[in-house]
Amino acid sequence: MGSHPETGLDLPRLRALLHQAPDHYEILDRRFVGRLAGFLFWCAGLIAAALLAFDPPTSALGGLGWVPAAITVGLAFVFGGAMVVTQRTLGTGMLMAIALSGPLMLGMLQWLAGSASSYDQLVILSVVWCGVVLPARRLLLLLLADTVVVFLPAAYGDWSAGLLPERIATLAIAWALALLCFVWSGHIRNIRRTLDAERAAADELARVDALTGLGNRRALDEALVGQVALSHRTGRPIAALVGDLDGFKFINDVHGHHTGDRLLRDVAAVLRQVVRSPDACFRWGGDEFVVLLGEADMAEAHEVADRIARAIRVRCATPDGTPVTMTLGAAAHAEGTIGAELLADADADLLVAKSGSRAA
């Protein structure tokens, strides 16, 4: 089954959904991860506040260090609270800013308290969140920032060889956790992405008539709603054709249902070729077909109906060579009416044509 632009269905595009390049943030619940970040900020703030009693921020600035330390811990609670209560969807830039703010705040506390302090170990809280949320390049940037924080005392001379094993262990745990969370979240993303794509493809296929490849009754109902709404907004005319095959039951009875099915597929192929590219074709049920004509009045609708009838008579035939014919009814959308009324009017015109009482 190929692409059917006249029905609004593009099956190759549906298959491509399963193989498209993934967007790392595509299925991320940004409000949820924002609240999760807020919770982690609170945890880090509580732990840092407790550590102040054991690792006071007096190494770099003396007693004055309590001021920036209190501000830093207070900001952790403020940021955490803001992210928990916010209803805004976080952008990718804000997610990265949240990720980098953790190492910056920890680096500040470690500098104030000195190289022997334990604040650097809080980076583990940061990498768990970042491993779940960030794409690979941004996660690498965050891990490099954490590495700088852990070894920051060496930059300002506050370093001893005894710190090296502890800091290497902290970094190894942080990098391992980040990698584990990244791989796990990537696996979950792939499962979710595949399920979403398959659901979207199944939803589209549910609008396709399996025998003819045209839109089915569900697709017709949805298209009618859209076309009528567009006509109401723009004032542009729309029309509908309803047609069925003449003597189709007799063809089934004489030649069998297999022949009847082949004939329906042939008619569908003719409709695709004959109607205008913006128009949409549907199998309404049985041997009944509907064509929605955008920006068409009654005169244009009758012109398209005649073109369809001629093409089917020429191109479709029973196994014994008898030409197949289709009778069509037409109707134009009247202002203030709904799509069902448009179809009902076209169907009524079809009945008039079938009875032979319609004026030529």
Q: Where do the domains of the chain lie?
A: 30-200, 217-355
* Rounded average pLDDT over 57-62: 91
Q: What is the mean pLDDT of residues 28-50?
A: 91
Question: What average pLDDT does this structure show over 35-43?
Answer: 92
pLDDT in tens, 197-256: 788 777 777 788 889 989 899 889 888 888 888 888 888 889 999 999 999 999 998 999
Cα–Cα distance, 353 to 3 (Å, whole number):
33
Active site residue 287: yes
* Residue 137 burial (C-beta neighbours within 10 Å; 0-12, 13-18, 19+): exposed
pLDDT at 1 over 70: no
pLDDT digits (tens, 9 = 90+) for 284-317: 888 999 999 988 889 999 999 999 999 999 999 9
Pick the residue with more confidence: 338 or 159? 338
Residues 6+ apart with CB under 8 A from 182: 131, 132, 134, 136, 139
DSSP secondary structure of 237-296:
-EEEEEEEETTHHHHHHHH-HHHHHHHHHHHHHHHHHHS-TT-EEEEEETTEEEEEEET-
Active-site residue (options: 120, 146, 287, 349): 287
Closest CA to 69 of 169, 90, 61: 61
* pLDDT > 90 in the chain, percent: 42
DSSP 10-28: EHHHHHHHTTSPPPTTTT-
Tokens for 322, please give them: 């008898």
Topology of the domain comprising 217-355: Alpha-Beta Plaits (3.30.70)
When pLDDT is averaged across residues 324-340 and rounded to a whole number, the result is 87
Contact predicate 25/74, CB 8 Å: no
- pLDDT value for 289: 95
| Residue (of 30, 19, 18, 20) closest to 134 by Cα position | 30
Query: What pLDDT, on a 0 to 100 scale, did the predictor assign at position 17?
Result: 42
Winning range, highest mean pLDDT, from 120-124, 258-262, 356-360: 258-262
Q: What tokens were used for 197? A: 């794509």
Span of 24-33, 73-82, 153-162, 216-225 with lowest mean pLDDT: 153-162
Query: How confident is residue 22, by pLDDT bands cut at 50, 70 and 90?
Result: low
The first and second tokens of residue 8, run together, are 């609004």
Distance of alpha carbon 173 from alpha carbon 179, whole angstroms: 10
Which amino acid, one-letter code, is at 160?
A: S
Encode pLDDT of 123-156 as tens digits. Answer: 888 899 999 999 988 999 999 988 888 887 766 6
pLDDT of residue 153: 74
Contact (Cβ atoms closer than 8 angstroms) between residue 132 and residue 171: no
Length of the chain: 360
Q: What was the pLDDT predicted at 278?
A: 66
Q: What is the pLDDT of residue 159?
A: 66
Phi, psi values for residue 176, rounded to 5° = -65, -45
Helix ranges, 136-256 (H): 136-150, 152-155, 163-205, 217-234, 248-255
3-class secondary-structure state, position 296: coil
**In the structure encoding, which two tokens stand for residue 136, read together?**
């690979």
**Mean of per-residue pLDDT scores for the chain:** 85
The predicted structure's pLDDT at residue 156:
63
One-letter amino acid at 179 equals L
